[in-house]
Amino acid sequence: KNQVEQSPQSLIILEGKNCTLQCNYTVSPFSNLRWYKQDTGRGPVSLTIMTFSENTKSNGRYTATLDADTKQSSLHITASQLSDSASYICVVSSSGTYKYIFGTGTRLKVLA
């Protein structure tokens, strides 16, 4: 069964600290993996998209990694800011029919 699991469910960190969010998937055949940031009351915003051959992709202070062998991805946030407080959603799509399977998200709270 195609599934995407994210951990932790929620996370609280202090401003300036780093954090890492996890995404494990069982989607097959794999096409790509996306990380989205969603602020409260707004639509998701794409952070990164990675295909099978990509191990790391950065977008400013956000760095995503992908291990296609273990079917794991992580999103690392460096020097967190208050504006990083949001939900982070991992989405994996399968090739061919482009099915999109969504994780339930990690809710991050950055405190001053």
Partner 1 sequence: DAGVIQSPRHEVTEMGQEVTLRCKLISGHNSLFWYRQTMMRGLELLIYFNNNVPIDDSGMPEDRFSAKMPNASFSTLKIQPSEPRDSAVYFCASSLVVSTDTQYFGPGTRLTVL
The binding site for partner 1 (CB under 8 A) comprises 31-32, 34, 42-46, 49, 51, 89, 91, 97-100, 102-105
**Strand segments (E) across 26-71:** 30-38, 45-51, 56-59, 62-67
Dihedral pair phi/psi, residue 39, rounded to 5°:
-75, 155
Residue 101 C-beta: closest distance to partner 1, Å: 9
Residue 32 C-beta: closest distance to partner 1, Å: 5
If the CB atoms of residues 32 and 80 are measured against partner 1, the closer one turns out to be 32
What region does 68 belong to: left with phi over 0, alpha with psi -120 to 50, or beta?
Answer: alpha
SS3 (DSSP) at 98:
coil
If the CB atoms of residues 77 and 92 are measured against partner 1, the closer one turns out to be 92
Residue 11 C-beta: closest distance to partner 1, Å: 17
